[in-house]
């Protein structure tokens, strides 16, 4: 997006795109091979025991023969953007100046495509490093409407993923995310407000508020990511793209009466008849 050879200065280009100038010059800090291996283990353990905090995860790692301190586990969890998932009061302070919206979906019947979309980000390990995957998911059909892979957690790549979904599929009534700063910032929420989309946000640490995306992550990790060792970002992007095409178009879902997300999204009456 940024063109160093353009007549506009890099600062002006960054302002126009609503991204921080620092992100333009961002170079990922190298991560040791040892830490990368621990992060891969943490990713698996977090999917298996989503309620586990740093203390329990450290104990699980030690039981596997990995000698590591709790402080180091907390540092790696922060880098990966993972935390113990459980219901707790909303006492965490939001990013300064960021509004936290209420959760709108409790008890709501989801009866059609484009009624509710959800978005989330997850950590993707590679052979030497890691990237982040963001998706927009239709709650009714479980269909992945848009996705992006990025080396950083900047809000810009989340906005790009959202805008791609809107351009391809219209707009939902409600859009649900967690309380991550990428989603609570004005750059992201203004896109939803401009399109008259109601904003819903999970309770802090309440994984059940966005359970369908959590189930997607489990499928992506165990059926694709953990079977590979991507050598580059481009390889990760291409391979994940092939998997998501399979996920949407060919993978049957028991929760959809054996239909694929594509069938449920484009033929919702078939799912209602089956139900």
Q: Which of these, 170, 173, 132, 137, lies nearest to 153 by C-alpha position?
A: 132
Structure tokens at 28: 């990922």
Which range has highest mean pLDDT (102-106, 192-196, 212-216)?
Answer: 192-196
The predicted-structure confidence for 64-104, as pLDDT tens digits, reads as follows 888 899 999 999 988 887 887 665 444 344 566 678 899 89
**Alpha carbon distances (Å) from 123 to 38, 80, 191, 225, 256:** 13, 6, 25, 10, 27
Identify the bridge partners of residue 126 per DSSP, sorted by sequence position: 129
- pLDDT band at 27; cut points 50, 70, 90: very low
Give this prediction's pTM.
Answer: 0.76
Q: What is the pLDDT of residues 145-166, one digit of tens each?
A: 999 999 888 889 999 999 999 9
- pLDDT-based confidence at 127, cuts 50/70/90? confident
Region 193-220: mean pLDDT is 81
């Amino acid at each position: 997006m940024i063109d160093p050879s353009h007549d506009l200065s890099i600062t002006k280009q960054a302002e126009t795109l609503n991204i921080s100038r620092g992100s333009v010059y961002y170079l990922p800090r190298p991560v040791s091979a040892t830490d990368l291996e621990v992060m891969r283990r943490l990713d698996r353990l977090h999917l298996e025991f989503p309620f586990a905090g740093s203390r329990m995860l450290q104990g699980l790692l030690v039981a596997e023969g990995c000698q590591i301190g709790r402080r180091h586990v907390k540092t790696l969890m922060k880098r990966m953007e993972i935390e113990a998932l459980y219901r707790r009061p909303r006492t965490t302070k939001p990013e300064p100046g960021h509004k936290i919206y209420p959760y709108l979906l409790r008890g709501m019947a989801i009866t059609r495509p484009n009624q509710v979309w959800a978005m989330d980000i997850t950590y993707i390990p590679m052979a030497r490093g890691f990237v982040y995957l963001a998706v927009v998911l239709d709650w009714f059909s479980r269909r992945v409407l848009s996705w992006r892979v990025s080396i950083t957690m900047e809000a810009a790549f989340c906005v790009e993923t959202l805008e791609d979904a809107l351009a391809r599929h219209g707009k939902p009534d409600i859009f649900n995310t967690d309380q991550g700063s990428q989603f609570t910032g004005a750059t992201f929420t203004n896109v939803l407000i401009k399109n008259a989309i109601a904003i819903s946000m999970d309770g802090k640490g309440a994984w059940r508020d966005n359970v369908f995306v959590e189930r997607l992550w489990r499928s992506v990790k165990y059926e694709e990511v953990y079977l590979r060792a991507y050598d580059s970002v481009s390889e990760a992007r291409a391979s994940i793209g092939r998997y998501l095409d399979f996920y949407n178009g060919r993978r049957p879902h028991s929760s959809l009466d054996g239909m694929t997300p594509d069938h449920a999204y484009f033929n919702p009456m078939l799912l209602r008849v089956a139900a």
